[in-house]
Structure formats: structure tokens, C-alpha cells
Amino acid sequence: MKPSIPKGTRDFSPGEMLKRNYIFDTIRGVYQRYGYEEIETPSMENLSMLEGKYGEEGDKLLFRILNSGDPFEKYRLAHLEIKNSDVTEKGLRYDLTVPFARYVVMHQNEITFPFKRYQIQPVWRADRPQKGRYREFYQCDADVIGSISLLNEVELIRMIGDVFDALKIDVSIKLNNRKILSGIAEVIGERDKIIDITVAIDKLDKIGLDKVNEELKMKGLSETAIQQLQPIIKLSGSNENKMESLRQVLKNSETGLKGIAEMESILNMLQISQKVKDNIELDITLARGLNYYTGAIIEVKVNDKRSSFTSSICGGGRYDDLTGIFGLPNVSGVGISFGADRIYDVLEEVKGFPDFSGISTKILFVNFGEEEARFCLQLLDRIREDGIHAELYPDAAKMKKQMSYADAKKIPFVALIGTEEMKNNEITVKNMSSGEQSKVTMDELLHLLK
């Protein structure tokens, strides 16, 4: 039997877990500092909670769980045609936002609004794996639900700034607003094609202006509409300049102007923050996750030349009425989500992880036999009391093997306790990097290890 793991999944070895936890701890720390509270939801949801929430494309990428037992049996015996809904009623969660919406509706009586929650858990998508894309990956979400104040947007963006500041990743935070996009579609008379328009414009960096226009034409936009779009696509300059141009274009769209007002308000409040104010960019081509966003849209891209990542490592936005589909209307939410797995890959590329050598075992006790090992146990208790990471080799194996173990685990000190040391109540300690060796008391050892 050759061992294997499913496509698009990965094992995480001790060295990788140190790095992953560094990312999770950093994000968790920022979330807590801003007053967000943690929740968890089950890895599986009822399919009725998931289906239809992520668009047609999303439904195809849902992992469905086969009902237990032999769900096909009765249909086979009766020679009936089998439908998906007959044999599967649960699925793995696709993101953390929809389960959160379900949670809010189910727990609305216990929740004090506005509710600020964070959630760090894996999600699953039956995607074809490729660079920065896995079938199982972690999302780190923070959302505020039950408040329409733009201060929430500002706070979340500052949190993004704090996280990447702590991780020492240079990023640019792109900002857009769904209402501005709606206004644009409205003004050029193609209100229904808003998704097609934004998806096409989103590709500007990648495929260039000509190809974008080609795609717009293919999607059925009129020639005049495409012409009207040109100044918007080519929008450039400072955030203020862009906003001024947009105000001209959208002067007849109530929705569009509302979007601009929101954007202006958010940008103004962000000027107070030294950390993020220079990294914020109004980007009209930003169009992800349009399925439920209704106001601000946020996306973060790496700004480091050493990184080959062009896709986003963090995203978010406002969604009015997300809980409406679960029977709780008029509750507005806004949230962000960090893609921990992509951040990991970026940090790997830019060599941005700190040194973790301080976390591992500080001292290994060599095992010379049953009696000696028993003696070591009390010493270990004393050492661990002081919070020092210490271990005893489990077998009375050859010295060479035990020393090699310490070497491989990069343990800086080895303690040798034989009959001689037991009798004199002393510890022979060896410094593995210098090779020096000396006899010390417990107090001296504790001092040495600190």
C-alpha cells in the first residue's frame, strides 16, 4: 500500500507549522487587539446552506459529502434514476462568510450587535490546484455585522495595515465600491451587464486594453457603451484625481455618487493612520467577489519585487443583507479575510520568516538506563517548572544515536547523568555548538539555560 493524500492537500511538518502558526498568531493578535471575538463553525454544513450562495461556478466547486451507509441501494433496487439530492445532503464549507451568516441568524438572540467576530478555519474548494491554489486552505476572517458605519471599513483596513506591518510584507491595499461600479453600468446604459463589465475591466493589468475591449464586445456591450467606458478604464493619477473624474462621469447616477461619497469618507478617515495612508489605492478595476458585496470592496496585493505573487492575499468588503437569505433581513455586514496559505508562500519567497530556533527543546537528557532515566525525571520536572523546554531520550540507545538525535533537532544542550553524577548530585552538561562540557549544580544549570 503506497501512502498518498488527496489532490490539492498538504501535510504540514514541524518546521512548517512553526511558520504557519506565526502567521495565525499574528493575525489573531491583531483581531483581538481590535476587540473581535473568535467563533468556530463545523467543517460541514447542510447543502441547502451552501448551494446557490457562490454563483454557478461556486456550486460546481462544492465538495459534497455522500450520505452514510449505502445511499444508492434503494434507488438501485427500485431501478430509479439517482439525483444528487437523493444521496448527498451535506457539504464541506466553501468559505467562512456564509457559515457566519447562518450562525448569526441561528444565534441572533444571544448576540449583542454590532457583533465583531473572527474565525480562523480551513475551507474546501474542488478547484484545480495551481500556484497559490489548494483544495484545502485556511481563511482568517474578521467581520462586523449589525452596523452600517463606515468606521468599520476604516477599522478593518487599519487591521490589514497592522497585520502586514507585523509580518513585514510590503503591500498595496486596493479599494473600490460596488455602488461606483453599479453607477458606471447605469450611466453607460448596461445596467444588467455589471458583472461582465467588471470582470473584463479586472483583467486590464493582465491582458491589456485592446483585449479588454474585445471581451466587452464579446459579452454583448454596444460600441457606444464601450466608448463611454474608455475614460473610466484608463482612470489614473492620485486618488483625488480619480475621484474627481468619476464624479464627472457619474453625475447623473444617484447610486454612483453615493459610492463616491462612501469612498471619500473612508479615504479621509484613513488619512489619520500613518501606517496605511500611503498604501491605499482607489482601483476601479477591482471586481472580485461581486456575488454579495454591496458597498466597499477591498483587496490586497503584494508590493515586493522578490515575490512572484500577483493574486490577492487578502480581500473583503461590505455586504448588505447577507443574512436575508436565512430569514433575517436588513442586517449589514463588512469583513475581511486573509489567505494564510498564500501569505505563507509570499513570506517563503521574500524570506520573511523570523528565526524560530528559540522555541524548540533547550536541553536533552541522555538515557543511560532505567535507574538513570528515573533520576532524570525529577530533574526534568524542576527544569520545566521554569518554562524551559526539556526532554529525555526515551530509549537507553547508544550514545552516538542519542547525540545524533540532539544534533538533528538542533538542541543546544545535552545533559549526561550516569552513576557518577547521581552519586554526587551533579549534572554533566555539554554545549553542543562549542563541544565544551562541565559539571554543574541544578541552580547553575537553570541559570545557564535562561
Partner RNA sequence: GUGAUUGUAGCUCAGCCGGUUAGAGCGCUAGAUUGUGGAUCUAGAGGUCGUGGGUUCGAGCCCCAUCUUUCACCCCA
Question: Per CB under 7 A, does 57 bind RNA?
Answer: yes
Q: Which stretch, 31-39, 62-70, 124-132, 253-261, contacts RNA (CB under 7 A)? A: 124-132
Question: Is residue 283 a contact partner of residue 175, using CB atoms and an 8 Å limit?
Answer: yes
Question: 405-431: b or e for each residue (b if 16 or more CB lie within 10 Å)?
Answer: bbeeeebbbbbbbeeebeeeebbbbbe
Question: Do the beta carbons of residue 307 and residue 346 sit within 8 Å?
Answer: yes
Q: Site for RNA (CB under 7 A): which residue of 22, 100, 118, 137?
A: 137
Q: How far apart are CA 407 and CA 351, in angstroms?
A: 24
CB of 4 to RNA, least distance (A): 7
Task: Pick the binder of RNA from 53, 178, 288, 362 (CB under 7 A).
Answer: 288
C-alpha distances (whole Å) from 168 to each of 41, 139, 165, 303 are 31, 20, 5, 11
Residue 79 binds RNA, judged by CB under 7 A: no
Nearer Cβ to RNA (29/129):
129
Nearer to RNA, 24 or 265 (CB): 24
Residue 392: C-alpha distances to residues 131, 379, 420 (Å): 42, 10, 18
Q: Is 337 in the site for RNA (CB under 7 A)?
A: yes
Alpha helices in 78-174 (DSSP H): 84-87, 97-106, 151-167
Nearer to RNA, 8 or 114 (CB): 8
Establish if 423 lies at the interface with RNA (CB under 7 A): no
In 349-375, which positions are buried (b, 16+ CB within 10 angstroms) versus exposed (e)? ebebbeeeeeeeebbbbbbbeeebbeb
For RNA (CB under 7 A), the number of binding residues is 60
Figure out which of the listed residues 19, 20, 191, 203 binds RNA, where binding follows CB under 7 A.
Answer: 203
Site string for RNA, 157-196 (x = CB under 7 A): ----------------------------------------
3 state DSSP class of 63? coil
Alpha-carbon Rg for the chain in angstroms: 29
The yes or no reply on residue 210 touching RNA (CB under 7 A) is no
User: Using CB under 7 A as the criterion, which residues of the chain lie in contact with RNA when the complex forms?
Assistant: 2, 4-9, 55, 57-58, 95, 125, 127-135, 137, 139, 199, 203, 206, 288-291, 311-315, 337, 339, 341-342, 366, 398-401, 403-404, 406-408, 416, 418-421, 428, 430, 432-433, 435, 437
